[in-house]
Amino acid sequence: MKKIIIFAIVFSVAINSNAQKVKDIKMKTENDSLSYAFGISIADNLAKQNIQNINPQAIGRAFQDFYNNQSKINVDDANKMIQNYFESQEAQKFKSTVEEGEKYLKENSTKEGVISLISGLQYKILKEGIGKAPVSTDRVRVHYEGTLIDGTKFDSSYDRGEPAEFGVTQVIKGWTEALQLMKEGAVWMLYIPSDLAYGSRQAGQTITPFSTLIFKVELLSIVQ
């Protein structure tokens, strides 16, 4: 996921001759010239990322408000807006992947035995468990196999001949949610939308951004 922290951009301003640059820019003070250089660097950074429809006046106002402690939005909210912007831009590049995933999940939700949750996660119980259900602080041992919606296999503990072990919260969101609903001994099929999987991130060579994923998950035990 591409994440930009607007007030944590590191700028490298190479100044061979401060006096000459101050004279060239014709600012009143050297600090004015340095401030102008920072502005140019920010503009260059945004332009290189092909960010469109930037309002320079709004950017200038944001700087004034920030340094006067009068920001209209806080830094965390600003970072979230920027993150959402880049994610939406990435989503456009992978529009067909997004649409195929949405279509698959919509059709899958009508199939017998498939349960859809509010989060968007879908699952089908192949075998009921009879043990305990893990909680968020537990570690679990599982066997699993993961595929894309076209059937391409990208990972399998069965093929490796050895179960995987990890914390319930150390995996993608779809797994974390499902594991806490399963009981030891259960075998489920999980149908995970991209926002509960890897989102806009590439995962390995096979899982492209915004991929919907399918897993067969066998919860062997809670690790004591």
Distance in angstroms (rounded) separating the CA atoms of residues 153 and 80 = 33
Tracing tokens 């260059």 back to the chain, one arrives at 44
Distance in angstroms (rounded) separating the CA atoms of residues 54 and 63 = 14
pLDDT in tens, the chain (224 residues): 444 434 343 333 333 444 444 445 567 788 888 888 888 888 888 888 877 778 888 888 888 888 898 888 998 998 988 888 887 877 788 889 999 999 999 999 999 999 999 999 999 999 999 989 999 999 999 999 999 999 999 999 999 999 999 999 999 999 999 999 999 999 999 999 999 999 989 998 999 999 999 999 999 999 97
Residues 182, 219 contacting (CB under 8 angstroms): yes
Q: Which domains does the chain have, with CATH numbers?
A: 6-93 (no CATH), 95-223 (3.10.50.40)
Cα 6–Cα 201–Cα 220 angle in degrees, nearest 5:
130
Q: pTM here?
A: 0.68
Active site residues per annotation: 144, 154-155, 172, 198, 215
Signed CA dihedral, 213, 2, 120, 126: sign only: positive
Distance in angstroms (rounded) separating the CA atoms of residues 71 and 149 = 45
